[in-house]
Chain A
Amino acid sequence: MANLFAGVGTSHVPAIGAAVDHGKTQEPYWKPLFDGYGPAREWMEKEQPDVVIVVYNDHASAFSLDLIPTFVMGVGEEFQPADEGYGPRKVPVVKGHPELAWHICESLIFDEFDITIAHNMPVDHGLTVPLSIMCDQPEEWPCKVIPLCVNVIQYPAPLGTRCYALGKAIRKAVDQYPEDLKVAIFGTGGMSHQLQGERAGLINKDFDIQFLDDLSKDPQRLVNIPQVEYLRESGSEGAEMVMWMVMRGALDDEVTEVHRHFHVPASNSAAGLIILENS
Chain B
Amino acid sequence: MRKDREYSDIPGTYVFDPHHSRMGYRLNMFCMSLNQEANRDEFRADPAAYLDRFPMTVEQRAAVENRDWVGMLRLGGNIYYTFKIAIFDGLTMQGVGGKMSGVSEAQFKQMMIDGGRPPEGNRFEHEWGAESSNNCTDSKGA
Contacts and interface: CB of A to CB of B under 8 A. Distances in A.
Interface of A: 14-15, 59-61, 64-66, 82-87, 153-156, 192-207, 227-228, 231-233, 236-237, 264-265, 267-268, 270
Interface in B73-100: 73, 78-81, 83-84, 87-88, 92-94, 96-97, 100
Contact of B115 (A59, A82, A236, A264): A264
Contacts of B31: 60
Given A83-B35, A231-B7, A199 B29 contact: no
Contacts of B15: 155, 231, 236
A195 B32 CA distance: 18
B112 A198 contact: no
Contact of B123 (A15, A82, A232): A232
A40 to B, nearest CB: 23
Nearest to B141: A201
24 contacts: A60-B35, A60-B81, A64-B29, A84-B84, A155-B15, A194-B117, A197-B13, A198-B12, A198-B101, A198-B139, A199-B13, A200-B12, A201-B97, A201-B112, A202-B119, A204-B119, A205-B115, A227-B7, A232-B10, A265-B112, A265-B116, A267-B92, A268-B93, A268-B112
Given A199-B12, A236-B13, A153 B80 contact: yes
A199 B11 contact: yes
Tell me which of B17, B116, B137 has the highest count of chain A C-beta atoms within 10 A of its own C-beta: B116
Contacts of A237: 79
Contacts of A87: 37
Contacts of B111: 201
Tell me which of A59, A65, A66, A193 has the highest count of chain B C-beta atoms within 10 A of its own C-beta: A65
B93 A65 contact: no
Contacts of A196: 13-14, 73, 78-79, 100
Nearest to A68: B21
B87 A84 contact: yes
A128 B141 CA distance: 31
Tell me which of A61, A197, A228, A268 has the highest count of chain B C-beta atoms within 10 A of its own C-beta: A197
Nearest to A237: B79
The 3 A-B pairs at the shortest CB distance, nearest first, are namely A203-B116, A198-B12, A199-B12
Interface in B99-142: 100-102, 108, 111-113, 115-119, 122-123, 134, 136-141
A177 B140 CA distance: 52
B101 A201 contact: yes
Interface of B: 6-7, 10-18, 20-21, 25, 28-29, 31-32, 34-37, 40, 70, 73, 78-81, 83-84, 87-88, 92-94, 96-97, 100-102, 108, 111-113, 115-119, 122-123, 134, 136-141
A202 B21 contact: no
A236 to B, nearest CB: 5
Contacts, number: 155
A31 to B, nearest CB: 13
A85 B79 contact: no
Contacts of B97: 195, 200-201, 268
A201 to B, nearest CB: 4
B32 A228 contact: no
Contacts of A192: 116
B19 to A, nearest CB: 10
Nearest to A155: B17
Given A60-B28, A227-B7, 20 more contacts: A60-B78, A64-B28, A84-B35, A85-B88, A154-B21, A155-B17, A195-B93, A201-B97, A201-B108, A201-B141, A202-B118, A231-B7, A232-B10, A233-B119, A236-B13, A264-B115, A265-B112, A265-B113, A265-B116, A270-B116
Tell me which of B13, B100, B101 has the highest count of chain A C-beta atoms within 10 A of its own C-beta: B13
Contacts of A198: 11-12, 70, 100-102, 134, 136-139
